[in-house]
Amino acid sequence: MTQNIYDDEAFFQGYSQLNRSVNGLDGAPEWPALNAMLPDVRGAKVVDLGCGYGWFCRNVCEQGATHVLGLDVSEKMLNKARSMTSDPAIEYRREDLEQLQLPAENYSLAYSSLTLHYIQALPELFATVYQSLLPGGHFVFSAEHPIFTTPSQPGWIIGKNGEKTWPINGYQQEGKRITDWFAPGVIKQHRKLATYINLLIGAGFIITRLDEWGPSDEQLATTPALSEETERPMMFLLVAQKPR
């Protein structure tokens, strides 16, 4: 089972203060880019892998999705999500994504935000997602970028003039990385971009878009603190499609 750090009390308290927790999609700087990569969801059945507070599930229902299944390993996250909607089109279910099963050819869209870098059994999960999609269906996700996950000692080096560099090592060594983030010992899986892409292709997907995300000029103007995100990508966004 994936480490369920989100049910750690200290982690949950810290995480719940994040802008993306308080303000939802509008608090996530990558959301405009990710949203622009989504297909039309009117009339669609959607599954969200790692739904957290359910911001995305509620959003796609407002956009016209007819059924949304939100999955998460964290009971705390799901309870919070359930408290924020009474829409019968949304179903929240506790699932360990390491062992997920989904009905065949059922969804038009599978979505996942910043979750897949926790998953060990990624080939199995990609196969599960693929068979659950209708022909022509889309898999749209964000995950932490390998540049962000690879360092054994992640952090900025600040130069004499305040310039920031991000030192990386161990890029070829895929697997577990342990960091302290709201709680000690958070376990993530470092994978090369090539591995994500080749696993998707191997599952049958066609890669249709990749975004090694960085802030827009408008975002930099209104939120100067985002400028460090121009130095190295923290996450990537990807669209894969099941052939028609």
91 beta partners: 69
Q: Which of 26, 62, 87, 163 binds a copy of itself (CB under 8 A)?
A: 163
Q: Does 38 bind a copy of itself (CB under 8 A)?
A: no
Q: Is 192 in the site for a copy of itself (CB under 8 A)?
A: yes
Residue 156: how many other CB atoms lie within 10 Å? 13
Binding flag, residue 171, a copy of itself (CB under 8 A) = yes
State which of residues 209, 221, 223, 224 lies at the interface with a copy of itself (CB under 8 A): 209
**CB burial string 170-204: b at 16+ within 10 A, e below:** eeeeeeebeeeebbeebebbbbebeebbebbeebe
CA-based max dimension of the chain: 57
Q: Which is nearer to a copy of itself, 165 or 222 (CB)?
A: 165
Q: Does 194 bind a copy of itself (CB under 8 A)?
A: yes
Question: Counting contacts by CB under 8 A, is residue 164 touching a copy of itself?
Answer: yes
For the chain, the distance separating the N- and C-terminal CA atoms, rounded to the nearest angstrom, is 33
Residues 92-121 that bind a copy of itself (CB under 8 A): none
Nearer to a copy of itself, 156 or 181 (CB): 156
Q: How far apart are CA 116 and CA 131, in angstroms?
A: 18
Q: Which residues would be at the binding site for a copy of itself (CB under 8 A)?
A: 147, 151, 157, 163-173, 192-194, 197-198, 201, 206-212, 214, 229-233, 236
